[in-house]
Amino acid sequence: MNKSHAGRETPKVTVDIIIEVLDWQENRKATALSDRWITFEESKIVLPGIVLIERSNEPQGVALPGGFVDIGERAIDAAVREALEETTLRVTNIKQFHTYTSPGRDPRGHGVTIVYIAQAIGKPKGEDDAKTAFIADPMNLQGLVEDLCFDHAQVIADYINYRLNGERPVTE
Amino acid sequence: MNKSHAGRETPKVTVDIIIEVLDWQENRKATALSDRWITFEESKIVLPGIVLIERSNEPQGVALPGGFVDIGERAIDAAVREALEETTLRVTNIKQFHTYTSPGRDPRGHGVTIVYIAQAIGKPKGEDDAKTAFIADPMNLQGLVEDLCFDHAQVIADYINYRLNGERPVTE
């Protein structure tokens, strides 16, 4: 730790947010991927629907809502801001889940992400950096898993394990 | 999110580590602050001793071991590395605790810190950025609280609440 703080190179900091849509049953078909609908198989539903977005920027694909933390901004505030900007949803009951730090997790360069879990009510709508925003069944992502950017397939798997078994991620 | 990843300014990333010394009773007087001894009041002991350091660099004071995460390094590896560099202890059973992100928490500039909890055996010895390393009773920090740098008084309070009540921090 010989370099000054300002000159020190560290990973970038982002946030991602898992938004559980409490009235997802009414809103699940309100939005969808631009090229296909997301369907829920009623018999298999265990957890509420969560919000995913189609990214406008690189890397292209599907992801949890999120973005960079600004200097001077708390990460929790960045997560609330990004949720609103990208999905138009105002989230509530937001809690920190886990921080992911693997160097390979972001193809743009090394970035750590602080992941939050929150709830919202209503129909997500893709805006800002999101082409679309839609509700997906986390336990039945169908063909979406291959489209998930970053380490978000792992994050969602960890989230499911946490909700079903109460176990926190051991990743990192 | 219009700027490229490389040009994006975000907070710096550090790690801090709470090292529970399993054989602290044998080692508690092995090291101490340079100007005074840390004493344990046997009757009040509830949690194992944890390792603190006296910082060589600014800000001067007492702190949990820790430091900057390097580009290309996982945060957990940075925490293990800093523990070894600053205290000579090889930690085991390391787990992520919580990430602290308030803009005011680091006087050098906005930095987020990912805090880990781990265990170790042996006598800590201050090296590298640590003038001294010593074992303190987290529930009886005596005059040390005023010397604690960053938000480490809050981190230790959250750690105590977690160990005693199983509650995770709500601080962001």
**A157 has a chain B CB within 8 A of its CB:** no
- Whether residues B101 and A12 touch (CB distance < 8 A) is answered with no
Phi, psi of B162 (to 5 degrees): -65, -45
Q: Which residues pair with B72 in a beta bridge?
A: none
DSSP letter string over chain A?
--S-TTT----EEEEEEEEEETTHHHHTTTS--SSS-----GGG--S--EEEEEESSSSPSEE-SEEEPPTT--HHHHHHHHHHHHH----EEEEEEEEE--GGG-TTS-EEEEEEEEEE-S-----TTEEEEEEE-TT--GGGGGGB-TTHHHHHHHHHHHHHH-PPP---
Across the interface, whether the CB atoms of A14 and B9 are under 8 A apart is answered no
Q: Read off the pLDDT of residues A19-46 as tens digits, 9 standing for 90 and up.
A: 999 988 777 665 555 545 555 666 566 7
Using CA atoms, how far residue B172 sits from A78, A154, B161, in Å, is 11, 23, 16
Q: Which of B10, B96, B109 sits opposite A98 (nearest CB)?
A: B96
The number of C-alpha atoms within 13 Å of A1 and in the hemisphere containing its C-beta is 25
Q: How far apart are CA B78 and CA A8, in angstroms?
A: 15
Please list every residue in chain B whose beta carbon sits closer than 8 Å to the beta carbon of residue A106.
5
Determine phi and psi for A151, rounding to 5 degrees: -105, 30
Cβ distance A135 to A27 under 8 Å? Answer: yes
A42-91 pLDDT per residue, tens: 656 678 999 999 999 999 999 999 999 999 999 999 999 999 999 999 99
- Greater confidence (A135 vs B40) lies with A135
Please name the amino acid found at residue B61. G
CA dist A114 to A111, B42, B119, B144, B170, Å?
10, 39, 24, 30, 14
Strand partners, A66: A16
Cβ–Cβ of A72/B103 closer than 8 Å?
yes
- Respond yes or no on whether the N-terminal peptide bond of residue B124 is cis (omega within 30° of 0): no
pLDDT value for A86 = 97
In this predicted model, what pLDDT tens digit does every residue of A106-122 receive, in sequence order?
Answer: 999 999 999 999 999 99
Give the closest-approach CA distance of B45 to chain A in angstroms: 29
- What Cα–Cα distance (Å) separates residue A150 from each residue in A109, A126, B4? 11, 19, 16
Can you give the pLDDT at residue B33? 56
Residue A171 predicted with pLDDT over 80: no
Q: A2 or B48: which carries more pLDDT confidence?
A: B48
A113 contact B CB<8A: no
Task: State the complex-level ipTM.
Answer: 0.91
Q: How many CB pairs under 8 A join A and B?
A: 113
Interface of B with A in 15-54 (CB under 8 A): none
**B170 contacts in chain A (CB < 8 Å):** 95
